[in-house]
Copies of this chain bind each other. A is one copy, B any other.
């Protein structure tokens, strides 16, 4: 079992990779995790220039020697390379698992649209830095290595699923990365956004013809929400229920996903 880690967004620190290697060595000594050197590059906001990040992604994805491509972390930057990357992927890229969330959603979405199987929303190496992060890394490896059912978000049913950061989903609707969502249960989460911003993003998301065809929406955690001035006066769940009701989208309750170490895994498509 070989896992290749690339960073299409923001760079990883070498000590974070060391921490992940140590967790893997203890719990999954059979796995070989290769952190592509690109993960540690730095160019402005990004883990290397667009071309360099794209090249690393394509190299790992197209290499049949890797069983999985693991997104190093979120941040920002994958939308800048997603279309170019996906256009270059060959057959070996389709025979592989992909795991990430947050900004990685741009690429996961485009890959899902391109018909890739084996995609999932879940923890990344950067999560090793969180309190309780070891559990997140183990959960990710449990899923990547043996599709452990206890790593999955516990409410996944018979319908196909898709999970997104609300801000990321809002920014890819209408682009060539927009995922096919008809009949899906859509699990949403966000981090570090004022509630008025999430409300605005939900206006946009709930107005999308594509989103209006989902089977329903489940809400994960909205975490590290900056103080709204004045107080927003509604909880995140009340807000999402409001937009679901306006768009006649069933609200299906909470989901165990978010920017934290409890973040459970949501495979794209049928569970």
Q: A230 touches which one: B44, B199, B234 (CB < 8 A)? A: B44
Contact yes or no, A203 B80, CB < 8 A? yes
Pairwise interchain contact A45-B196, C-beta atoms closer than 8 A: yes
Q: Inside 8 A of A42's CB, which chain B residues have their CB?
A: 230
Closest to A230 in B: B45
- Stretch of A142-150, A169-177, A259-267 contacting B (4+ beta carbons < 8 Å): A169-177
Are B176 and A232 in contact (CB-based, < 8 A)?
Answer: no
Indicate if A208 sits at the interface (CB-CB under 8 A): yes
Q: Is A249 an interface residue (CB 8 A)?
A: no
Count of identical protomers in the assembly: 2
CB under 8 Å from chain B, chain A span 158-179: 170-176
Contact status A196-B76, CB under 8 Å = yes
Q: How long is the Cα–Cα vector from A203 to B207 in the complex, in angstroms?
A: 19
Instruction: Please report the C-alpha to C-alpha distance between residue A44 and residue B233 in the assembled complex, in whole angstroms.
Output: 5
Residues of B within 8 A of A199 (CB): 45, 76, 80
* A207 contacts B76, C-beta separation under 8 Å: no
Contact status of A204 and B174, CB under 8 A, knowing A45-B196, A228-B45: yes
Question: Which residues of B sit under 8 angstroms from A171, Cβ to Cβ?
Answer: 170, 200-201, 203-204
A231 at the B interface (CB under 8 A): yes
Residue contact A233 to B45, C-beta cutoff 8 Å: yes
Give the residues in chain B near A208, CB-CB below 8 Å. 174-175
Determine if A79 is an interface residue (Cβ-Cβ < 8 Å).
yes
- How distant is the Cα of A232 from the Cα of B230 in the complex, in angstroms? 30
Q: Which 5 A-B pairs have the closest CB atoms?
A: A44-B233, A175-B207, A174-B174, A171-B204, A76-B196
New A-B contacts (12) at CB < 8 Å, excluding given A44-B232, A175-B204:
A44-B234, A45-B196, A45-B228, A45-B232, A45-B233, A76-B196, A79-B203, A171-B204, A173-B174, A174-B174, A174-B209, A175-B207
